Amino acid sequence: MLRQDRFLVEFIKLAGPFWNSEDKLAIRKDTVFLIVLTVLQIVMAVVITEWSAALFDALEQRSMSGLVTQVGMLVLIFIASITITTLHLLVKRRILIGWRLWLTDKVIGKWMHKGRHYQLTFVSKGDHDNPDGRIAEDIRIATEEAIALGHSLFYSLLLLGSFTKILWTLSGTVVLNLGLFSFSVAGYLVWVSIIYSVAASILGWWMGKPMTVATHVRQTEEANYRYNLIKAQESAQAIALIQGEANERQRFQGSFQAIIDTYHQQTVAWKQIQIFTSGYSVTSMALPILVAAPRYIVGAITLGTLMQSVQAFGHMVSALSWPVNNMAGIAKWRASVERVLGLVKALDDLDFDIACLNSHQICVRKSGLPVLKLDNVTIASLEGENLSSTIDCEIKVGDRVLISGHSSTGAKLFQAIAGLWPWGSGRIEVPDDALFFMPPRPYLPTGSLYEAICYPKSIESFKRSTLEKLLKRLGLKELVKQLDRVESWEQVLSREQQQRLGLVRVLLYRPRWIFIQETFDSLTPDGETQMLEILDKELPNSAIMSITNQPTAEAFHQRKLKI
């Protein structure tokens, strides 16, 4: 957990540049407008206390004309209050959603950058588990609670400045007779409110400390539980085929039990806060009347002044008690901010760790030449153990290279060429042309089949007629009529269909550099040979590197690179 001073500094560094972003003029204008509206809310609070004093004075004097006047004033206050409150809500929510959008884009930009989302899964150090929950939920809480807490703090400071003077004037001077001596106290209600609020804040802070820890732990366990559910949904077919439902239910129960444990921990913390806030609210309701009533009883003030004093006292105590009233919100906000900062720090540390600053990383550079060059490259594990001997070779456009040896190490070589596996040593020079990697199963996002095949480009990039011809040629004519159907295609299609769609995508993109990683392992040997022959015929000038376990595929390649 970050220290208090570093926590605030890191949050400001991460989220503060929003006010200096591309739309800074509109953002700053809304911020100033929000400040003005908050000031007007304070003005309305002052006006209402003065109206309350005038109303009770009219009642005490039994003045019908005074009562009618105050009813008219109430109508004006009603209209002004609704206008100010509504505008304040609209402006605040506009800033809030803009800030959340900006911060989400910033964090996703770091996460979805050069495979960092993938590389982060191999990093054990740092607090970065469940990045989806941190981005979707914790950023929302971090921005929403920051706006809410910032506004309430500013409002409380304005309340304090406005009502301290009012309460000081209404308090007058009282003489305290302690027997042996007596002394006069000016603005005694102000001093009572300060002593009461400070004592309550210290007690409330002490009783609320466990809430921050409990909230952070619970949010982490909630994110873990959501992740397990999502993972099960993604693997629904595999679980159903192996009849693993009972095991999954047990895993869900174990994950949810962790939530229950943290829920009980949070309940204990809430109980302490609830005990304090319940007593605090009752005392705050009665205290101002009790301390101001003696002056009214002896006739030093009117009923209107008494009620105005009570309201002013309440506003001042409320302002001074901001830390107490917002303990739970602060705990929730800080826990979410720390989770966001943990993810950002892990991504920044990863960027530093894999930078080409020493000989313990594989450095990938663009050469500007139509050649892929592996210069003294060694693949290593995360722990630093070498998984391959030194690799030195050049691959030119049109070459057909079969990767032999351990397929898992060959897969890491492909990842290294893509810039995703920096663990090892040596230098890789890649051409400026786009590299096209074919994993064992292509990624097919949820949506129409047409969009899934064209991914990551849009459907406008390719003619529908071309796609339909390719589907028929590659044995997928049954999918032609389903191009506009929306499904989770990774769940609907068989592995063989998905692998054939991977080749459809390659033939649409027609890249010059293709890396095949057991892409056709679900096909028969003849089926894989057929796919490779189509690829060879359609893209004769493309360089192809393959990892395959099919002996019949060797004839397709010109040379072999043993890992």
Q: Are both 346 and 377 inside the same structural domain?
A: no
- Look at residues 330, 353, 376 and tell me which one is the last residue of a structural domain: 353
Look at residue 110 and tell me if it is in a domain: yes
| Identity at 342, one-letter amino acid code | G
CA distances from 191 to 306, 497, 533 (A): 17, 78, 90
pLDDT (tens digit per residue) in 47-95 = 888 888 888 888 878 888 888 888 899 899 999 999 999 999 999 999 9
Based on the number of CB atoms within 10 Å of its own CB, is 483 exposed (0-12), middle (13-18) or buried (19 or more)?
middle
Helices (DSSP H) in 235-302: which residue ranges?
236-242, 245-297
Q: Are both 349 and 401 inside the same structural domain?
A: no
What single-letter DSSP state applies at residue 290? Answer: H
| Average pLDDT score over residue span 346-353 | 84
Phi, psi of 520 (to 5 degrees): -120, 30
Look at residue 299 and tell me if it is in a domain: yes
Look at residue 138 and tell me if it is in a domain: yes
pLDDT (tens digit per residue) in 205-234 = 777 777 767 877 887 788 888 888 888 887
What single-letter DSSP state applies at residue 397? Answer: T
- Look at residues 353, 387, 411 and tell me which one is the last residue of a structural domain: 353
| Average pLDDT score over residue span 258-270 | 86
How many structural domains are present in the chain? 2
**Mean pLDDT of the residues in the chain:** 86
Q: Are both 434 and 343 inside the same structural domain?
A: no
- Omega of the bond leading into 131 within 30 degrees of 0 (cis): no
First to last CA, the chain: 44
What is the per-residue pLDDT for 480? 94
pLDDT (tens digit per residue) in 283-319 = 777 777 777 777 778 777 777 777 877 788 887 888 8
**Which CATH number does the domain housing residue 184 bear?**
1.20.1560.10
Q: Are both 307 and 441 inside the same structural domain?
A: no
Look at residue 358 and tell me if it is in a domain: no
| Average pLDDT score over residue span 185-191 | 77
Q: Which residues contact 43 (CB under 8 A, 6 or more apart)?
A: none
Q: Are both 198 and 307 inside the same structural domain?
A: yes
What is the per-residue pLDDT for 413? 94
What single-letter DSSP state applies at residue 21? Answer: S
Q: Are both 77 and 180 inside the same structural domain?
A: yes
**Which CATH number does the domain housing residue 417 bear?**
3.40.50.300
| Identity at 486, one-letter amino acid code | V
Measured N-to-C along each axis, helices 139-171 and 303-320 cross at an angle, to the nearest 10 degrees, of 140
Percent of the chain with pLDDT over 90: 37
Within 13 A of 264's CA, how many CA atoms are on the CB side? 5
Look at residue 370 and tell me if it is in a domain: yes
Confidence tier at 491 by pLDDT (50, 70, 90): confident
Look up residue 272 and give its two tokens: 């302490």
Confidence tier at 176 by pLDDT (50, 70, 90): low
Look at residue 474 and tell me if it is in a domain: yes
Q: How far apart are CA 133 and CA 506, in angstroms?
A: 33
What is the per-residue pLDDT for 4? 54
Q: Which domain holds residue 516?
A: 363-562
- Look at residues 319, 353, 387 and tell me which one is the last residue of a structural domain: 353
Q: Are both 268 and 367 inside the same structural domain?
A: no
Whether pLDDT at 45 is above 90? no
Q: Are both 428 and 545 inside the same structural domain?
A: yes
Which residue in 457, 458, 413 sits closest to 437, CA to CA? 413
Q: Are both 178 and 298 inside the same structural domain?
A: yes
Look up residue 353 and give its two tokens: 């760790």
CA dihedral (477, 479, 482, 485) in degrees, to 10, reads: -170
Q: Are both 321 and 401 inside the same structural domain?
A: no
Beta-bridged to residue 377, according to DSSP, are: 391
Q: Are both 339 and 404 inside the same structural domain?
A: no
Based on the number of CB atoms within 10 Å of its own CB, is 182 exposed (0-12), middle (13-18) or buried (19 or more)?
exposed
CA distances from 337 to 2, 93, 144 (A): 10, 19, 11
Is the sign of the CA dihedral 97, 99, 104, 109 positive or negative? positive
Q: Are both 320 and 367 inside the same structural domain?
A: no
Return the H-helix or E-strand segment holding 514.
Answer: strand 513-517
What is the per-residue pLDDT for 55? 87
Q: Which residues contact 214 (CB under 8 A, 6 or more apart)?
A: 262, 265, 266, 268, 269, 331
pLDDT (tens digit per residue) in 430-473 = 998 889 999 998 999 889 999 999 999 999 999 999 999 999 99
Confidence tier at 179 by pLDDT (50, 70, 90): low
Confidence tier at 146 by pLDDT (50, 70, 90): very high
In this predicted model, which residue has the larger pLDDT, 414 or 203?
414
In this predicted model, which residue has the larger pLDDT, 126 or 563?
563
CA dihedral (447, 451, 452, 458) in degrees, to 10, reads: -130
Query: Which residues in 486-511 are b (16+ Cβ under 10 Å) and which e?
Result: eeebbeebeebbbbbbbbbbbbbbeb
Whether pLDDT at 38 is above 90? yes
Look at residue 499 and tell me if it is in a domain: yes
Using the structure block, give the residue that is written with the tokens 């003849």.
526
Q: Kindly report which listed range (147-161, 453-467, 547-561) carries the lowest average pLDDT score.
A: 547-561
Look up residue 317 and give its two tokens: 């105590």
Q: How far apart are CA 563 and CA 419, in angstroms?
A: 18
